[in-house]
Amino acid sequence: MLDINLFQAEKGGNPDLIRKSVKNRGGDPEIVDRIIQMYKDWTAVRFHLDENNKATNALQKKIGALMKAKEDASALLAEKVQLAKDKAALLEEEKVKDAELKNTVMSIGNIVHESVPVSMTEDDNLLVREYLSERDSPNGEKAPVKRDDYLNHHEVLWQLAGYDQERGAKVAGHRGYFLCDVGVDLNLALIMYGLNFLSKRGYKKLQTPFFMNKEVMSKTAQLSDYDEQLYKIAGDNSEATENGGASGDKYLIATSEQPISAYHMNEWFENPSKQLPIKYAGYSTCFRKEAGAHGKDTWGLFRIHQFEKIEQFVLTDPEKSWEMFDDMINNSEEFIQSLGLSYRVVSIVSGALNDAAAKKYDLEAWFPKQGEYKELVSCSNCTDYQSRKMEIRCGTKKLGDREKKYVHCLNSTLCATERALCCLLENYQTPTGINIPAPLVPYMGGVEFVPYVRFIKQ
């Protein structure tokens, strides 16, 4: 969420910057003025509460003096009762206004970085750079080539007997699947290679919980995610008791970014120059409804409800987050390059950014059968948008500090393994089987080639 002081020009804030950002995201800048007024209304109630407390304290002294002198204080006691009633009403009003203010502030996305292309359509995503693998340019080609003679990834995997979508759909419904034999081996190879790849670059490996408490998830997931992405697990009374009366409801994670963003919740890094950055290689199964993706990539493993992912998540000093953003997308590029895949990196337009991201790059790899680039990686700098909700602070603790300093949080896919597997299957197929990319061979027991065991009838 944004700092409420950023809305207050008199406190050094910049409401015009927020208006511009809201507009660039496709929203109505009027919401900024509404928040400014809501804040004034809230502070007015706070003022009346302070005045009530002062009046109560002054009255209590008068009552004490009268009682000490053994004089009648009944009139003042009645006045005190009225002040108490007024205070109760003010406290309730303050509670309501505070909740309304916070909810409205949380509905506003992060400040869009000045370098982000401004548009409401992803057709305007800005090309940052391209990479053409040696495999795709044996004769000096300038671009990867569409291969109509190739099979789609799910056809390759079927001929390898690497997955069973029919039985998967019977058991788990639409987009359900079983990975089998070589499908399992390849998926695990990508997982282990990805974790070791990041470990060598100073990342700490974390296998996260697959679900989160509702109260914690609400601090990291945006409102639209609850309808379009997140699966809810209804709790029961016993869980509510264990949680101290809090809701027992939980949500399956859509990415390990969500639990890792809460890993240091309510912590303070007093010596950021020595304690930061902290780099995590998150590994988890991920669960997504994909409710907003009907009709998109409905076959195979590209867009599914359950998949594994290796995620980069970094907490860093605010002054160094953009340097870290470059490092993280470079890690993802080096990983994809090591697998011999051609790709492009694009800067996502302002209207397509999720709320937390100030800027996002997508890495889209080449799928030769389909003749198009498709997203394998998303890399985002969320600045202090997540850490402010999670109360993850940095810097020396000083009494009377008016301005809180929060760490910056960044995330980037390294490898969504089933989706990466789709790309590898299309790119490494041959008429008789698939070649195994060199980095995965050690994780495949030294196997360099896997032959087909059956063929699709033409």
Which residues sit in the known binding site? 255, 288-290, 311, 375-378, 411
In this structure, what DSSP letter does residue 292 have? Answer: T
Angle ∠(259,344,254) on CA atoms, nearest 5: 20
Cβ–Cβ contacts within 10 Å for residue 452, how many? Answer: 18
Please state, in angstroms and rounded to a whole number, the distance separating the CA atoms of residues 162 and 324: 38
Please state, in angstroms and rounded to a whole number, the distance separating the CA atoms of residues 194 and 420: 11
Give backbone dihedrals phi and psi of 372, rounded to 5 degrees, phi first: -155, 160
In this structure, what DSSP letter does residue 124 have? Answer: G
What 3-state DSSP class applies to 299? coil
Per DSSP, the chain holds a count of helices (H) and strands (E) of 14, 17
Q: Kind and range of the H or E element at 365?
A: strand 359-367
* Cis peptide bond prior to 138, omega within 30° of 0: no
- Are residues 285 and 307 in contact, defined by beta-carbon separation less than 8 angstroms? yes
Type of residue numbered 3 = D
Give backbone dihedrals phi and psi of 313, rounded to 5 degrees, phi first: -140, 125
Binding-site annotation, residues for L-serine: 255, 288, 311, 411
Binding-site annotation, residues for ATP: 288-290, 375-378
Please state, in angstroms and rounded to a whole number, the distance separating the CA atoms of residues 99 and 316: 30
Cβ–Cβ contacts within 10 Å for residue 238, how many? Answer: 9
Give backbone dihedrals phi and psi of 431, rounded to 5 degrees, phi first: -65, -20
Please state, in angstroms and rounded to a whole number, the distance separating the CA atoms of residues 324 and 331: 10
Give backbone dihedrals phi and psi of 283, rounded to 5 degrees, phi first: -125, 130
Type of residue numbered 105 = V
What 3-state DSSP class applies to 129? strand
